[in-house]
Chains A and B, each alone.
Chain A
Amino acid sequence: MKHRLLVLQMATPVLAILFGMLSASVIILAIGRNPLDVYAVMVRFNLTRTDSLFSILFKTTPLIFAGLAVALSFRVSLFNIGVEGQYYIGAFCAALVGFSMRGLPAVLHLPLALLAAAVGAMVWALLPIVLKLRRGAHEVITTIMMNYIASALLLYLINDVFRDPTQIGTPRVRTPLVAAAARVPSLGPLLAPLGLHGSDVEKLNLLLPVGIVIAVVLAYFLSRTRFGYEVRAVAFNPLAAEAAGIPNARVQFGMFMLSAGIAGLVGLNDILGFFGYLDIDFPKGLGFLGISVALLAKNNPLGVIPAALLFGFLDRGAAGVQFFARVPKEIIVILQALIILAIVVAYELLTRYVRIQRKREAELPVTAAPVAEATGR
């Protein structure tokens, strides 16, 4: 039984992804293209070019942070749909610290910028979580509203208040350049001795290993510390947790703040790692991709890494599909949404199957049960 269970657990996400691809194929067929062709192009584009491989890693980095942020909130049964708005605000705070302070050494400036991003995002998340805990306001709606407000706020700040004066008169609307000391170091110098060169290699920055480290730390934190235990208790049975003396509201608040803090860092891969400024057209939608990543990873911090990789892979594939297979790249967005739907249904079905199996096993007559266990069934 345990053996079969393990195989099923590994197979489920794969089957769900395949199902998602199948559903997307229907749409591709409907527009008169060959789905196999499209997928082949995507795989070839992604895996046979070195610039693709590094581009995938570059795109994966923010998704790790976004996935972790959403997963943390899901862990305490809260839906932080506001990751999108939180990373806008975080990106702005980091850019502000980056371009408004000059002459600071990198060892001070960069951590300060990162801190500003995290704190800014946490402040942005304060209103929804307080309203939820104090007034019972649905955090899904409040965080989504905060996303729209963040969008408007950013438009105002970038366009009207902090617009780079050297760019006035051009169609470029962005903040001033961030100080070099505040930029995230590139991984280029590390990879050069391995013979890897090129602009895509240099795009990769320190945030990727940092993200992986944070994921590992969170995994440890959630499974081995007392706070992690409280988190699990609150998730499984809030009433029992409360009765056991665990301060539910404080645990939820803490996790939500942690979630927001990590969310703030999502945009830094692009702002501090690549561009060096905050443009009005900076990458958006990473918050929603984070939700997809967290769902695929089943809210497990370690699982977020491969899940982010998959979505980074799909993201990169979008460019290839549009250019080479002549299918609009939005098919990838549709594919991603279908995959999430398939994944959550599949996970739910798996959970139910396991439950039924366990019930059946428990109903076996007493003499037969130990035999069943001993034979490893």
Chain B
Amino acid sequence: MEYVTSLFSVALLASAIRVTMPILLASLGAVHAERGGVVNIGLEGIMIMGTFFGAVGAYAFDAQFPFLAKTWPDLAPLAGVLAAIAAGLLFGLIHALVTITFRVDQIISGVALNLLAGGLARFLNILLFEKATQSPGVRGFTPIDIPLLRDLPALRPLVTGVSPIIITGVALVAVSQWVLRRTRFGLRLRAVGEYPLAADTLGVNVYRLRYAGVLLSGALAGMAGAYLAIEQAHLYFEGMTQGRGFIALAAMIFGNWWPVGALGASALFGYFDALSLRVVRLPVPYQFINVLPHIVTILVLAGFVRRARMPAADGVPYTKEEE
């Protein structure tokens, strides 16, 4: 197929891994929220906040603490990531407050959060940089080369220049999978998402666990945005998330609400995303290449939702008996 240099070249796979990360992190967050029974449509908005605060945090650190930034070059991007996670936690808190404590419809709260995040990002950008749509450039983390594998020439693009966030992300998948399957917190979270009434009668604090799930989703989505801005694009520009927050939800569904499944599903979307960046000769108009991941998302949802099993109480607000 002469349209792409090669469908399975190592370079393409390396690119795919990088492009998968934002979707993966957001999807991981979505898994935690929905396992607790709360749908978080606002992930796109939180990711937008993550991209903004990630870029701005890194840039501000560089500007405010130039000596520190020079001695430990990884501090600036780290500051960005932390700022993004903080923003994500804040928005997650709003979503949790509105949907868990006030029991408003979760989809509506998510949509409102997306609007808020979009407006806030643009507002703050104008305020800080006087350009509605773009921030100055930021550096990424120092890339890591995986020690033993880097000496294999065939694998070189895959294992050299790896971002620490990629490693963290994959580790988080493994940790989450274990937490959800084997720890008390994970099992209780799942119970709360399946049959909160039963969990409540056993003394589990439904509200607190749901808050935990949603806050985790906010933090992870913020991190996803930070990665996108700091490591991939090296700046913030408006609309850079391109619906990845929603694609992450589809990845969660496709992955059957498991972290490992989310990894596989995100990888699929990431692959098509990376493919769209490397098309050499175009059999279709270029505008459609950009929406390839979105088309794949619809196909996935069309084909696979019935087979997947969502947490039984997903999307349903919980009311304690006495109220």
Which positions in A face B, CB cutoff 8 Å? 27, 31, 79, 81, 127, 131, 135-138, 140-142, 144-146, 148-149, 151-153, 155-156, 159-160, 288, 291-292, 295, 328, 330-334, 336-338, 340-341, 344-345, 348-349, 352
Contact = CB atoms under 8 A, between A and B. Distances in A.
Contacts of A334: 116, 119-120, 123
Given A140-B107, A331-B123, 14 more contacts: A131-B302, A138-B253, A145-B297, A149-B291, A149-B294, A152-B290, A152-B291, A160-B285, A295-B108, A330-B123, A336-B115, A337-B113, A341-B94, A352-B323
Interface residues of B, number: 45
B160 to A, nearest CB: 33
Given A148-B242, A156-B287, A127 B298 contact: yes
Interface stretch (B98-106, B178-186, B192-200): B98-106
9 contacts: A137-B305, A140-B41, A144-B243, A330-B119, A333-B123, A334-B123, A337-B115, A340-B115, A345-B102
A230 to B, nearest CB: 22
Given A142-B301, A148-B242, A152-B291, A330 B126 contact: yes
Contacts of A144: 243, 246
B52 to A, nearest CB: 12
B119 A333 contact: yes
Interface in B133-181: none
B320 interface: no
B65 interface: no
Given A330-B122, A333-B122, A344-B105, A292 B288 contact: no
Nearest to B120: A334
B273 to A, nearest CB: 13
Contact of B126 (A291, A292, A328, A340): A328
A127 to B, nearest CB: 7
B243 A341 contact: no
A330 to B, nearest CB: 4
B111 interface: yes
Nearest to A336: B115
A72 B243 CA distance: 25
A341 B242 CA distance: 24
A348 B98 CA distance: 10
A295 B112 CA distance: 10
A345 B111 contact: no
Contact of A344 (B98, B122, B127): B98
A27 B249 CA distance: 31
A348 B112 contact: no
B119 A145 contact: no
A328 B123 CA distance: 6
B68 interface: no
B119 A345 contact: no
The 9 closest A-B pairs by CB, nearest first: A333-B119, A337-B116, A330-B123, A337-B115, A137-B301, A328-B126, A152-B287, A156-B287, A145-B294
A87 B291 CA distance: 18
A141 B301 contact: yes
A140 B295 CA distance: 15
A135 B302 contact: yes
Given A140-B41, A344-B105, A288 B111 contact: yes
Contacts of B291: 148-149, 151-152
B283 to A, nearest CB: 14
